[in-house]
Structure 1
Amino acid sequence: MCLFNDINRKRDIIKVVWYENHKGISDNNYHQLIHKFRVLLKEFGIPIEILKTINRYGLRLDYSLLSSSVNSVLSLNRFNDYNEKNL
């Protein structure tokens, strides 16, 4: 949700995700979070390239990849829904 709300800086993402505990969070925790997020993207068939790392700053979404990925996921969901109803 951070990236959709133009929260792109690493420190700002840490503040949002870890809220009150953000001062004790290391860069390693942040990098683990981003790694897990990319794993989830891949599991759902969304290209991990959608999430761009900006060195020494944070992240951004590649909206061109996002729109095509969402359309393919929605199409797959519609296909699965159709099969469940008609089989």
Structure 2
Amino acid sequence: MTPAFTVIATAHFARDLRKLAKRHTELAEHYARALAILETDPYNRSRTHPIKKLENVSAGEGQYRIRFGHFRFRYDIEGQTVYLKLCSLRREDTYR
């Protein structure tokens, strides 16, 4: 089965991914799962994936977010292409 969408990582996303992967080995598995999901259902029409459309975010800044544990991947969709914009780690215990 060929993917319906093409996924392209921006240079900023690739740099963030490399930095986080050095300390978090499980990130590679989450990234592979995210790619599989984004190639088939980036809009989350099936409502089975941890995808959210972000409010008050303009195009080009990552209008959608997919979540795996503490990891967040933000992306935009243009036509049949998904552009990965940001890879981040949510740190809930930063100020505790």
Specify which structure has the bigger relative contact order, considering alpha-carbon pairs within 8 angstroms and separated by 6 or more residues. 2
Q: Which protein shows a greater Rg?
A: 1
TM-score when scaled to structure 2? 0.29
Structure 1 or 2: more strand by fraction: 2
Structure 1 or 2: more helix by fraction: 1
TM-score when scaled to structure 1? 0.31
